[in-house]
Amino acid sequence: MPSIRLTDAAVKRLAKPDKGQTDYFDQLLPGFGLRVSASGRRSWFVLYRVKGGTNRGKQRRFTLPLRAGALGLADARQIARDALIAIERGEDPSVDKRRHRTEVSAAITVQEACDVFIERYAKRRNRSWTETSRILKKDVCSDWGDRALESISRSEALALIDSVADRAPVMANRTLAAIRKMFNWHIERGTIGTSPVERLSAPTREQQRERTLSDAEIRLFWQACSEYSYPFGPLFKCLLLTAQRRIEVSNAEWSEIDLEKQLWKIPAARTKPGREHEVPLSNMTVELLLSLPRFGPLVFSTASTGDRPVSGFSNAKKRLEKRMEELAEAPIPNWHLHDLRRTASTGMAAAGIPRYIISKVLNHAEGGVTQIYDRFSYSNEKAEALEAWASDLIAKLDGSS
């Protein structure tokens, strides 16, 4: 087994093996090392021999409770050093760890495990934590809520994922991802030792969507929306006009919108990339917003007080699709609300808008040194892009495009 001087730089350079795992022992602290697996998982460990009892002389491995990355080299080496000192006194850290884990896992239920995961991890790290919370509450806690976290078996996890896949294949992938993250987080905290979904493959193969609405479909969509009362009719139109994400449009507040300046400022807390986003409003969009009732803080709401976000998108879209097919007197190929965003961006591209300006309009996540230092707002360019799209949309609705 390789023995190297472990440093922060050396740890970063270690490549994962093609298969299995490789242990790298530290030259500075005998018995202490890093295991790198083919899956990319990295974990600190201490290899030792039991000093006393019936297992005297037996070699054991003590894996530190946090993975490499969550636990730095210096801290890991100190924990290992303390463990080796305890071993010299005749203690066995592996036994103590299992005892602690058993006590903790027996005391924590799946419901409690999900709650603490959402509160201490998801809310702080994942802007879509509300969806993760909904998934765990609906499909995990409803079945396993009162069960001990450690008691969930692999076969039970497979049965749950299969049941979700039977009704919603793609959602089964999301459910598996949420369960896997929750269990792995508790493994890192030392609550449990294994995950029932470890190395479990996603049940559904997803394909990247390229669907955009044709000009004829856009006319049907717009007419159906015009027959659809507030909030869904105008909300769906706003999705197509602004090219913004559904969650951003459906949670828009009047305080964010300046109709006189024709500008909508979405706060960083409500955008996927986590940065404030300015959306210039075309004349057509302003006209739409001026036509809306205004009885609360939210632009679109299902409550008379205007303070409750819109819900029931699936049923609303089904009714819209049904009306579109009635108008067309023919079936319409399946489409999603996100396709409206893609349709708008495609329309801007067809109008000659540069790709990087369209990306600014869409507020796509960016990376690289150039993007880090590029803080120019491109307000005028974005306004021209959305106005060009609105003009093109008007032409399509008139049947002249």
Per residue in 79-104, pLDDT tens? Answer: 888 888 888 877 877 665 554 444 44
pLDDT for 70 = 59
**pLDDT value, residue 100:** 43
Q: What's the pLDDT at 215?
A: 94
pLDDT over 70 (residue 127):
no
Q: Is residue 328 classed exposed, middle or buried when 0-12, 13-18 and 19+ CB atoms within 10 A define those classes?
A: middle
Scanning the structure block, which residue is given the tokens 């796509």? 364
Q: Are 382 and 279 in contact (CB under 8 A)?
A: yes
Domain 215-398 sits in CATH at 1.10.443.10
pLDDT band for 349, please (50, 70, 90 cuts).
very high
Averaged pLDDT for residues 119-148:
84
Q: Cα 374 from chain centroid?
A: 25
How confident is the model over 244-268, as a mean pLDDT?
Answer: 94
Domain ranges across the chain: 3-93, 108-188, 215-398
Domain with residues 108-188, CATH architecture: Orthogonal Bundle (1.10)
Band the pLDDT of 126: cuts 50, 70, 90. low
Most confident of 9-18, 198-207, 234-243: 234-243
Residue 374: pLDDT band (50, 70, 90) is very low
**Cα separation of 376 and 278, whole Å?**
12
Of all residues in the chain, the percent with pLDDT exceeding 70 is: 88
Instruction: Note the pLDDT of residue 54.
Output: 62
Q: What is the CATH number of domain 3-93?
A: 3.30.160.390
Average per-residue pLDDT for the chain: 85
Spatial distance between the Cα atoms of 221 and 226, rounded to a whole number of angstroms: 9
**Residue 208 — pLDDT band, cuts 50, 70, 90?**
low
Per CATH, 3-93 and 108-188 having the same topology is answered: no
* pTM, entire model: 0.56
pLDDT of 217-250, one tens digit each?
A: 999 999 999 999 999 999 999 999 999 999 999 9
Q: What is the pLDDT of residue 220?
A: 96
The alpha carbon of 203 is separated from its chain's Cα centroid by a whole number of angstroms, namely 18
Measured distance CA(132)–CA(202) in Å, rounded: 16
